[in-house]
Amino acid sequence: MTYKQAEQYIYSLISRKVTDGKTIPARMTLLLEKLDNPQNDVRIIHVAGTSGKGSTVTLLASILTESGYNTGSYTSPHVVDLRERIQINQALITKSVFLKLVERVAEAIKTLNKEEIFPTYFEVLFAISLLYFRDQNVDAAVIETGIGGTNDATSVITPILSVITSVGLDHTDKLGNTLSKIAGHKAGIIKLEVPVVSGVIEEEAKVVINQKAKDERAPILNIGDEFGYEVVTEALNSKHQILKEEDKKTDLLRRSSNSVVPLIGFEFWTVLPRPDRSRFEVGMRGSFQAHNGALAIQSALLLSKMGFGDISDSSIQTGLQTARIPGRMEFINTTPFTILDVAHSVPKIKALVTSYCDLEIEKATVIFACGNKTNYKEMLCELSTISNNIIITEFETKNGPQIARHVNTYSVDGEAWAHAISFEKDPQKAIAKAKVYGAPILVTGSVFFISAIRPLFL
């Protein structure tokens, strides 16, 4: 098997229909048993949440790496390279190692298939990550859930720390249509006597999370109660100067070309493990990253009291500044100024709109495409507050061609924002059309869409 064949093998699992009648955790348990249960040999920090979990994983892993710990991270989905999901010390798993691990897992899957057990795409990648982290003897691995928590493949692990970033209305077809129901699924990562760090703000969801922690005798730290943050600087005006529109865009591009220049400064405070207040800065763009940064800091401080030794403010600051994720409020140094951001749900679009407003520049021209199960009307309504020109396009991807929404399936007639909408099936033509307006370009929507369109800007 070559690396390309290994990659194709993994992608072939996306369209596989599950017919074995097993729950996801049950199937994941059987697969890991065939691989000698690598999860039992890795200290894991488990992160769930509607929004922010990938960023929080990346920020915390970066802090631990800067503190001298050999740190694995597992996130999903990926934007550019399948191997983005599995990293140690912010370095992607090598193609040669990935190939060997795919071959090992494929052998286990053959055995399971004979028993009428059929592991899925996500389950297989998660298993590969655990094998990799065990083989490389990581000091810790920060693991992101897929969907929910209770019925997620990652729920089979017993972590040393659980983190819940947020609860919002997403994946309602699987998790329920209320915040309390969704919170119940997220709370599934809370395990007996394992500490919890929670960034959940909505009271309806917070009650559920706190009750689960109480039931599991798990000590919990809630944002706004035991720790929190206050944003103190914004990207464009960190010195509070007034800039003209063109100067603002020039300043943004200058900053975006410097990988260590932060965009958000915030005051972090905590009462545990000791009362403290310090200022930090996050390198990943978007005002919402202060929330994720606060979760990562509080988690790191707890870990410092759980056998990880001292984690200094200097290591925290460097870790926060240097962490990056492709396609997440990513500034592209082009004319016009362009931002790429994966925002495939209403909560994520709302966070994006807030972050764009924080930039204090003119309204954007938006290029948008989403999956066929997305609440696109509410997303477009939100985007219309920062754009007078929204170009809807579509995309093709080998990763999941069945999920893309075609332009002829959008219905916008009669909507208050319908005047802002136009359609262009070809993404390249959509980009050309957007450039004519001369405004900043904001490209957003499905992960698969950002993955497909990103190379056209680079």
Q: Which residue has the tokens 């262009």?
A: 424
Distance separating alpha carbons of residues 357 and 395, to the nearest angstrom: 27
Report the run of H or E that residue 342 belongs to, with start and end: strand 338-342
Chain segment 176-201, per-residue pLDDT in tens: 889 999 999 999 999 999 999 999 99
Quick one: pLDDT at residue 448? 87
* Across 54-58, 213-217, 284-288, least confident range: 284-288
Report the run of H or E that residue 448 belongs to, with start and end: helix 447-453
Q: Which of 341, 343, 346, 347 is nearest to 328 (CA)?
A: 341
> Is the alpha carbon torsion for 233, 238, 242, 243 positive or negative?
negative
How much is the mean pLDDT over the chain? 89
Quick one: pLDDT at residue 260? 33
Quick one: pLDDT at residue 261? 36
Quick one: pLDDT at residue 398? 59
Report the run of H or E that residue 133 belongs to, with start and end: helix 121-135
> Which domains are assigned to the chain?
3-231+254-322 (3.40.1190.10), 330-457 (3.90.190.20)
Quick one: pLDDT at residue 87? 98
* Across 13-17, 136-140, 240-244, least confident range: 240-244
DSSP string, 265-324: EEEEEE-SSS-EEEEEEESSSSTTHHHHHHHHHHHHHHHHTTTS----HHHHHHHHHH--
Q: Report, as an integer, the average pLDDT of 424-445.
A: 94
How much is the pTM? 0.88
Instruction: Give Cα separations from 242 to 238, 248, 264 (angstroms).
Output: 10, 9, 17
Neighbours of 218 (CB within 10 A): 18
Quick one: pLDDT at residue 210? 98
Quick one: pLDDT at residue 355? 87
Q: Between residues 418 and 259, which one has the greater pLDDT?
A: 418
Q: Characterize the bridge pairing of strands 276-282 and 264-270.
A: antiparallel
Phi and psi of 56, rounded to 5°? Answer: -65, -40
Quick one: pLDDT at residue 263? 57
Q: Report, as an integer, the average pLDDT of 414-441.
A: 94
Q: Tell me the range of 147-156, 175-184, 217-226 where mean pLDDT is highest.
A: 217-226
Quick one: pLDDT at residue 239? 33
Phi and psi of 264, rounded to 5°? Answer: -130, 125
Quick one: pLDDT at residue 272? 83
Strand, helix or coil for residue 37: coil
Q: Which of 349, 377, 376, 372 is nearest to 442 (CA)?
A: 349
State the Rg of the chain over Cα.
22
Q: Report, as an integer, the average pLDDT of 35-41.
A: 98
Chain segment 45-56, per-residue pLDDT in tens: 999 999 899 999
Would you give the distance in Å from CA 452 to the centre of its chain?
18
- Could you tell me which residues are beta bridge partners of residue 229? 268
DSSP string, 361-421: -PPEEEEEE-BTTS-HHHHHHHHTTSEEEEEE-----SS-GGGBPPGGG---TT-TTGGGE
Report the run of H or E that residue 82 belongs to, with start and end: none
Q: Which residue has the tokens 């019925």?
A: 151
Quick check: 174 pLDDT over 80? no
Query: What share of the chain has pLDDT > 90, as a percent?
Result: 71
* Across 74-78, 216-220, 335-339, least confident range: 335-339
